[in-house]
Each structure stands twice: as C-alpha cells, then as structure tokens.
Structure 1
Amino acid sequence: MKTGGKSILWSVAALLLLLSIGVPLLNVLTVTLLMVPYVVLYTTLPKGMFFAHLIPVWIIAFFMVGPAPLIVGLFFLVPAIVMGHYYRTDKPVRSRMTAVLVSIVAIVLLELLVFDAVLDLSVIGALQDQIRSVANTVASEPAVSSLWTPEMIDQLVESTVQVIPQALLLSAFMLTAVAQYISRRALSSYGINVKGLPPAHEWRVPRLLVTYYLIALLLQLIVPAGDDSFMTTALVNLVPLLRFVFTVQAIGFFFFLAHEKRWPKGVPIFIGFLLLLFPPLSLIGVLDAAFPIRKSFQKP
C-alpha cells in the first residue's frame, strides 16, 4: 500500500490544525478534528514512520507559534494511537469508542493531577475563582445587586463545579465520535474498511441501564439537594448522562419506526432533533429499552 504522498498531506493537515490553535473560534474546530490526522497516519504507517512524520510537525509548530500547540498535540496523541491500534486489530466499534473515550478522560485527570502536584495549580480552584469573579462583577451592577446574594453566588459556583464530570464525559464522547466518523471515511481511500456504528434503527442500550436510571432517580429524591457530598455530585452527573443515553435510545426507536414504515429519511431526523430539545421525551427511550415495544411494529 503506497501512502507516501497522502501521508505528507495528512502531516500538513496536522500542522495546519496545530497552527490554528491560537485562532479564536477556529480553535474549537481544531480541537475537534485534531485526532483525525493522527489516527490516519498511525493506521497506515509503521510506528517508526508515524513518529517520523509527526515529530517535524511538532517542531515546526513549536517554533512558529510556541509551546501551546505542542501541548495540545501531545494531548491527543494517546487517544489517537488507541483508536489507530483498534483499527489495525479490527476490534468492535463499541470497544474501540469506549477505549478512546476512557483514554481521553484518563489523560485529562492525569493532567489535573500533574498540575496540582507539580505546578501547585488547581484548575478546578482557578475555575471557581473565575466564576466567582464574574458573578461578583454582575452582582455589583445596580440593576441586579438586589437579586444576587452571596449565597446564590456560592450555589452557582458549586453547581458549575459539580457538572464538570458530565461535561468532560460528553466532550470526550463528541471528540471520539467525530474522530471515528471522519477517520473511517479517510481510511476508506486507502482501501481499509473499518467497522462503523450500526445503523440508527439498530441502536439499543442494555436493559440493565433502566434499573440504574430508576435507582439514580430514587436516590435523587432521597439525597438533599443542597448537600455537597460525593453522592450528590455523582447523581448530578449520572442522571443527565443516563437521560442523554435514553434520548439516543428514543432516537433509535424512531429511526426503527421509519425503517419499518418506510418513512421519508427526514422524518426521524426531525423527530430526533425534537427529542434533543426536550429531554423529558427520553422517557420514550426508557420504555423502549425496558419493554419489547419494537416487536409490535415489526412485519411478520
């Protein structure tokens, strides 16, 4: 398999993405796409050639922009290698995405630990200070000074910090899904067929998640809302995440109906958009996971 010219182009793409790290707004797109060149290069090249392509990219980016691109580039190296390794070994898509998601979360946690232990810098503490500073600035305005109390500011800071794990997991999932989607299509140009996600009408979650969800909802009713314990933090993150999972299940259910009833393709997409806008509709996904509803719609 000849990959020389394409590999150089992917290396150039990685360099351009790293150079755009410092560009406001564009850097959001950069972070979302940065794993893709890494994954393609690691999957199509021997390991030695993979690093031979990337090291010059990192050096050029370092001298042109500074250390920031290098830090970001190294951050995405491990999850990209994990995804590329799973591509090479033809692992199931669920195992692949789980491994990449876990690697992203693990690297973030490791970086937070290093910042705290080595640099004596608490990222969470800095975030709390920043939120508190902004809230105090808003509270000092005459129009809202009577509405904002110190207790409300403390509650805002605490609530924001509590949802950090949820935001981290959702961000890791988004990065994994984008890299999976684009890199699969890029690798097809090399003649490499990589297993993708099953069609939307086949999406199903384990029924056991329904039990977990009901337990979490019950605990949420029992545990005091103002409590700052680990249990409260866990529930604040777990319940919305499970609700999102069942929203995806509900989307899969309507794609299933569209598949069985031969609906126009735009119908389940529109319904899926509505499901994302109205989280309570995730109950449809709960019912679909708990009961064999789909059997009643299947053609004999």
Structure 2
Amino acid sequence: MKTGLKPVLWSLAALLLLLSLVLPLFNLISLLLMMVPLVVLYTTLPPKSFALHMIPVWVLAFVIGGPATLIIGLFFLIPSIVMGHLYMKQASASRVIRTVGVVFLAQLMLELLIFEMFLDISLLKEMGSFVRTMFDDLMTRGLVPADWNSDFTEVIIHTMINSIPVAFIMMAFGYTVITQFLARRLVKWSGGPETPRFARARDWRLPRLLVVIYLIAYVMEMFSSTTSDSFFAVALLNLIPLLSYVFAFQAIGFFFFLAHQRGWNKAVPVLIAIPVLIFPPLSLIGVLDTAFPIRKSFTKP
C-alpha cells in the first residue's frame, strides 16, 4: 500500500467532502468537488491501494454521516474511476468529457428508475405535487395573476417533467467539465501522469451539420403541440434548448477568438461569456459563427 502523505491527504479530503454534505451552503460546493479527490487517488495509486485508502473513508462516512452520505459517495465512485482510467490511458479531453458525461447521465437516469421500482418513490410525481402546492399557496396569497388557474399550473409541470432529459444532460456535462478542469491539474501535482488539456476556447469549432439540425428542429417545433407526450414532441422540447446551449459555447469561443485577434485583456471574453450563457438568444452568434466563415473578417493579415 502506498502510504505517502499526498494520498492520505486526498483520502482525508474525500472524507471531509462527504461529511460536509450535511452542512447547509457547504453541501453544494462539496457536491461539485466530490469526484476530484477520487479521480486523483485512482490515477496516482494502484487499484488495491486505492481500495485500501477508500475503505476507511466509506466506513467513517457511514458511521458519522449515516447511510445517505455513503450512498452519495458511492454514486460518484464509478465516474471517478472511469475518468481516472482515461487519464492513465492518456485519452483526449474531449473523450474524457464524452465518456464520463455519459456515465454520469446514465447513473442519474438509473437513480430515477431505482427510486420508482424498488423504493416506490416517484420523483416526478413528487416534483409535480411540490409545484402544485407552491402555486396554490401563491394563489391564496394573491401573488399570481387573477386569471391564473390549475390548467396553467399543469402546463408548467408538464413542461418541467418533459425537460428533465436536457436538465440531466446539462448537469452531467457541467459537472464533468468542472471535475476535468480541476482534476487534471491536481493529478499532475500529486505525481500522476500528464493529461491532455482542453482545446483553447478560441479554437472551438462546431460542425456545420448542427446548424442544419437546429434549423430543422426549430421549424418542426413551431408546428408541434406543446402539450403532447409523444416521444417526438419530448425530443424536440429537449433538443432546441440543448442545441442553444451548444451554440452559446460556440459564441463564447468566437469572443475568445476575437479577443486573441484584437489583443484584448483575457478578462473581456470571460465577462462576455456570462450574458451569453444567461440569455439564450445570444446563442445566435454561435450559429452564425458555425454556419459562415465570419472569423476571416477578423483575422489579422
């Protein structure tokens, strides 16, 4: 067993992150960082040593924090192992993001299924009940328009439930990107292998085929029913916002390219990225950047 100081410190970090899940405000930060020490430990230790470091962490988490803490810790174990394995294989950053993101997404969907089939808890029904109760309370207090009725509430619930796939995809992608950004640096600091970095933001380019798919989906959505539960309608409901986010990142890449060409301060494109991500219509910049060679107009001769 490798008993150097750094593995012990990372094991301690994993334990502290698990135990801090019971603390308000700290639990969100803990969830965002949960995979980082696990990825570092798996990448820098042999499998048996990794297991020997993690067993006391899980035992202490169970004794101090209870079974819920242990369950959450085990949830993040599989994607952490997958990411660490890809690091050791020197996989590209894009492959790491795709693979770990899919694993994370599959676990989220499996979790819904387990709650429904084995624990007899429908998270979708619970969400619907919560929204109905909230709007009923708002109606009682007179905080919603006078013409608001239960039909409007049901439309909101229907849209929220059918939008869960895109929410899960964005959650899996965002979580994987944050972990990748932090873990690859900390793996190197801990004596692990050099791992490929992200492509520079100014070099991000999407295939033009996505523009065609986006336009077709947008036109089809205009003629589809907003209350339909068919697979086709639900797919369109999720595809449009998902592609909008994809093109929003392309727009951010364009502003990083522009900043590089014009010699702007590096903080400028970072600040521009905030409104681009918040306001979906600004993703149109990414659509134009993908569809047309507008960067040539800004390229230095």
The TM-score range, normalised by the shorter chain, is over 0.9
Q: How does 1:76-115 map to 2 (within 5 A)?
A: 76-115=76-115
Q: Contact 2:105/2:168 (CA < 8 Å) preserved in 1?
A: yes
Distance 1:283 1:140, change over 3 A: same
Give, as a single letter, the amino acid of the residue that structure 1 aligns with 2:56. Answer: P
Deviates more, 1:175-184 or 1:113-122: 113-122
Unaligned runs of 5+ in 2: none
Give, as a single letter, the amino acid of the residue that structure 2 aligns with 1:200. Answer: A
Aligned to 2:150: 150
Q: CA deviation at 1:11?
A: 0.3
Aligned to 1:248: 249
Q: 2:80, 2:43 → 1: CA distance?
A: 10
Distance 1:137 1:124, change over 3 A: same
Identical residues among aligned pairs (%): 47
Q: 2:67, 2:59 → 1: CA distance?
A: 10
Aligned to 1:19: 19
Q: 2:279, 2:66 → 1: CA distance?
A: 44
Cα shift readout 1:175-217 (whole Å, capped 9, x = no counterpart)? 1011101111111212532111111111111221111111110
Give, as a single letter, the amino acid of the residue that structure 1 aligns with 2:40. Answer: V
Aligned to 2:229: 228
Counterpart check, 1:273 vs 2:274? yes
Q: CA deviation at 1:288?
A: 0.9
Give, as a single letter, the amino acid of the residue that structure 1 aligns with 2:246. Answer: V
What TM-score comes out, normalization by structure 1 length? 0.95
Deviates more, 1:132-141 or 1:21-30: 132-141
Aligned to 2:170: 170
Q: CA deviation at 1:263?
A: 1.8
Equivalenced residues, count: 299
Distance 1:251 1:143, change over 3 A: closer
Deviates more, 1:151-160 or 1:114-123: 114-123
- Structure 1 segments, 4+ long, off by >6 Å, are none
Give, as a single letter, the amino acid of the residue that structure 1 aligns with 2:54. Answer: L
Give, as a single letter, the amino acid of the residue that structure 2 aligns with 1:30. Answer: S
What TM-score comes out, normalization by structure 2 length? 0.94
Q: CA deviation at 1:70?
A: 0.5
Distance 1:142 1:207, change over 3 A: closer
Aligned to 2:140: 140
Classify the secondary structure of the residue corresponding to 2:73: helix
Deviates more, 1:144-153 or 1:183-192: 144-153
Give, as a single letter, the amino acid of the residue that structure 1 aligns with 2:52. Answer: A
Greater relative contact order, per chain length (Cα 8 Å cut-off, separation 6+): 2
Q: Contact 1:206/1:289 (CA < 8 Å) preserved in 2?
A: yes
Classify the secondary structure of the residue corresponding to 1:64: helix
Q: CA deviation at 1:3?
A: 6.7
Give, as a single letter, the amino acid of the residue that structure 2 aligns with 1:281. Answer: L
Q: 2:292, 2:142 → 1: CA distance?
A: 55
Q: 1:229, 1:102 → 2: CA distance?
A: 24
Classify the secondary structure of the residue corresponding to 1:120: coil
Q: 2:231, 2:141 → 1: CA distance?
A: 35
Give, as a single letter, the amino acid of the residue that structure 1 aligns with 2:252. Answer: I
Counterpart check, 1:282 vs 2:283? yes
Cα shift readout 1:234-253 (whole Å, capped 9, x = no counterpart)? 22211111111111101111
Classify the secondary structure of the residue corresponding to 2:205: coil
Cα shift readout 1:60-87 (whole Å, capped 9, x = no counterpart)? 0101110111010000011111100110
Unaligned runs of 5+ in 1: none
Aligned to 1:260: 261
Q: 1:135, 1:270 → 2: CA distance?
A: 36
Q: 2:145, 2:201 → 1: CA distance?
A: 49
Q: 1:236, 1:49 → 2: CA distance?
A: 46
